Structure 1
């Protein structure tokens, strides 16, 4: 009879040990899964916030561009309009660069293209001084807007959003 009790006790201990190990494994798996999910959600929220800041800076670009065109058409001194536009272009570059660590390698090219368009636009804006040169300015502005739109759409698409 002593042998049966020892055998039952051993089987019971074995079952309890398996249950404890399984429970521990499930707890570890749950903790790792929670961490991965939480990190992923935080990264998406951060990318969304940066994309929103980028889109807000784009609105400032439109406003500064309109002020520049107005000053050019009125024959006013362009110094203030150029300075304002340059400041907006710099902020837009910073906003685009803030997206770089949060996008795929393919989207990095959109960022590089956009920053180059911003540089080109700034150079053109500095050189235009009369309404006759407006075509060159308008083309550079259009390229900047188009590359910015492409960047925004690419980032939004990869973030699972539609723009």
Structure 2
């Protein structure tokens, strides 16, 4: 059983994700807050929470974990590239998936963990579609990236809630 580092992850969240001063400036100038936190910040949040290092090159974001983030109740997108996508798709069946679902103001976050095997029904269905997409030899007629999504409802049904932040406060933690 892996240990999770909730306090350290919450400290990172408080300093680098839930940046109220920055959000106020965005709002003052007519910019949206939603989408202002890049995916690398969520990957770093996941690294701190799990204690795992980032993976260099292609494959899962962290050692043994794929990290996904999306606005609350939105689906989580997966992208697979031409030369590395098939091995990545197969790897996704074996690693854990850390899903971060955030409120549009970022003052609330729910973190779920789902085993790759529990999502394999999706990845198995996507594999022939991936191969079909990239079987097209003319690059102008194929999609540059193969994209698929897993619904929020599937994540909460198959996953385990391991951390919850509400109104900027850490209110729930659970072990893996």
- Indicate the TM-score class for this superposition, using the shorter chain for normalisation: 0.3 to 0.5
TM-score, with length taken from structure 1: 0.33
TM-score, with length taken from structure 2: 0.32
Bigger radius of gyration among the two: 1
Structure whose residues are more often helix by fraction: 1
Structure whose residues are more often strand by fraction: 2
